[in-house]
Amino acid sequence: MKQYRDTFPEHFLWGGATAANQVEGGWNEGGKGMSVADCYSFDPALPKENWGDQWKHLKEEYIREALDPQSTRFYPKRYGSDFYHHWKEDIRLFGEMGFKAYRMSVAWSRIFPRGDEEEPNEEGLQFYDQIFDELKKYGIEPIVTISHYEMPLALALEYGGWKNRRVIEFYVRYANVLFRRFGDRVKYWMTFNEINSNLRHPFVSLGIITEQCENPLQDIFQASHHQFVASAMVTRDCHKLYPESMVGCMISYQMPTPYSCDPDDLQKCLEEQRNSLYFSDIQANGYYPDYAARMLKERGVELVMEPGDEEILAAYPVDYVSFSYYMTMCVSAHPERHESVGGNLFSATKNPYLQSSEWGWQIDPKDLRVALNQLNDRYHKPIMIAENGLGAVDVIAEDGKIHDPYRIEYMKAHIEQMKEAVKDGVDLIGYTMWGCIDIVSASTSQMSKRYGFIYVDADDMGNGTYERKKKDSFDWYRKVILSNGEEL
């Protein structure tokens, strides 16, 4: 029987997380090709409630316009927080906080500008050589997401994205270039960011333009099958080169909860949970779950599998499971009877027991413990919290400092529940707070939705010095890490 423990493991991976398309900038530097993320613009003239519209569905006309050098739109993810030119300073700051790990993504189109080339872009590889060497100086373990909402645009426009089985070959080639070049310094990999969000925003996740689909769900689930196969193949390849390295899957998990004890709500909640767990089930267990046949049939989906697909899934499941956790999703079988709320990639029934963030995300630290126990019971594999954080309006106070007690409170409440989960026996190996430095929001493309311990002087339209400034939470987190989660 597993020994009881009431402290975080000795080598717990405390750190922070970003994504290339939200932090780097340098969108057309160093030989980088356009990515799907470079097509998202921010329009302050729109009403605030519409700032997330592109995220929910990026119209084909917007994609075409992004290709026009004369376009007058502002594309925030092309500039990010300008990590591309500030990486040395930023990594020093991460080191000052005492990070044990830094979750980051490699921009696929920096390595293969179109995605279908035979040979990688050496300048892109050199950029990441610098990053990994600098992280090593501070003893910070890189956790690398191979694809995080930034696949090469050409794969979307010329191949139809992941619904084209050829993209497996391109992704496997890309991942093997990363393993061979960086595998001596990178021991933790994730194949796809929030792979379950394929269902919610297929363009940024799969390169699928839904206007071009006869049956979008058929294409989305077929494309997801290709990603499952690709994930298994690169897990195989990584272990061949570096047997000790770990490859993980990653889902966005809002821990769906039933609105009431009405049995219909519980059934609806189970179905909603499976809309996410379907993806981690296949990657972590290595086979399609029993409920998949009915789930796909009822959506009019008929998967096409090649001989050997299911064998490779079974042979190479991931080594750990990771997830992003910001809020929970309350589910009612009769949503029309209740108030709804927006949130990370979806809308749900408002949970009357929870407070909301300034962006309407319902904050639920206690269910993080439930989610951790559920995933631990389901997969019996190491678990990592790949994202957790509070997007908020941070301001520079009279004293020139940035006081963010709300962010400290949010994180304290979640870390307390993480420790309860550790006491419950959950094999929790790491926590990388989302947006450890202010970056461009995925869903609204705003810089003003700030997550960081480090403030970046830039506004939603890219104006500012891009100077970095520590917030109060910077020193607070440094102490959390120093005390291994004892001093909150």
> In the annotation, is 122 catalytic?
no
Rank residues 22 and 81 by Cβ distance to ligand BGP and give the closer one.
22
Q: Which of residues 97-156 bind ligand BGP (CB under 6 A)?
A: none
List the structure tokens of 312. 């490779």
387 binds ligand BGP (CB under 6 A): yes
Residue 442 interacts with ligand BGP (CB under 6 A): yes or no: yes
Among 147, 257, 344, 417, binds ligand BGP (CB under 6 A): 344
> Quick one: which of 322, 388, 441, 473 contacts ligand BGP (CB under 6 A)?
441
Q: What is the contact mask toward ligand BGP in residues 301 to 330, using x (rule: CB under 6 A)? A: -----------------------x------
Which residue, 249 or 301, is less far from ligand BGP as judged by CB? 249
CB-wise, 317 or 435, nearer to ligand BGP?
A: 435
Q: Which 420-439 residues touch ligand BGP, going by CB under 6 A?
A: 434
Pairwise CA distance, residues 393 & 409, whole Å = 15
Contacts of ligand BGP in 207-236 (CB under 6 A): none
Residues 82-113 as b or e (16 or more Cβ within 10 Å = b): bbbebbeebbebbbebbbbbbbbbbbbbbbbb
HSE at residue 336, side-chain half, CA atoms within 13 A, is: 0
Two structure tokens written together for 314: 């079974």
**Total of chain residues touching ligand BGP, rule CB under 6 A:** 14
Q: Can you list the positions of beta strands (E) in 7-159?
A: 13-17, 101-105, 141-147
Find the catalytic residue in 24, 150, 272, 387: 387
Residue 276 binds to ligand BGP (criterion: CB under 6 A) = no
Is 134 annotated as catalytic? no
Structure tokens at 282: 């296949």
181 to 210, contacts with ligand BGP by CB under 6 A?
193-194
Catalytic residue among 96, 194, 244, 271: 194
Shortest spacing between CB 93 and ligand BGP, in angstroms: 20
Nearer to ligand BGP, 288 or 359 (CB): 359
In this structure, what are the phi and psi dihedrals at residue 252, rounded to the nearest 5 degrees? Answer: -90, 120
Interatomic CA distance for residues 23 and 19, integer angstroms: 6
Of residues 137, 129, 60, 147, the one with CA closest to residue 94: 137
Q: How far apart are CB 20 and ligand BGP at their closest, in Å? A: 10
Closest CA to 402 of 439, 455, 457: 455
Q: How far apart are CA 438 and CA 455, in angstroms?
A: 6
Sign of CA dihedral 246, 308, 274, 376: negative
Please tell me the distance from the alpha carbon of residue 173 to that of residue 116, in angstroms, as a whole number.
Answer: 9
- 428-434 and 13-17 as β-strands: parallel, antiparallel, unpaired? parallel
- What x/- string results for residues 6 through 35 when contact with ligand BGP is judged by CB under 6 A? -------------x--x-------------
DSSP 48: G
**Which residues are near ligand BGP by CB under 6 A?**
19, 22, 193-194, 252, 324, 344, 387, 391, 434, 441-443, 449
Q: Which residues participate in catalysis according to the annotation?
A: 194, 387
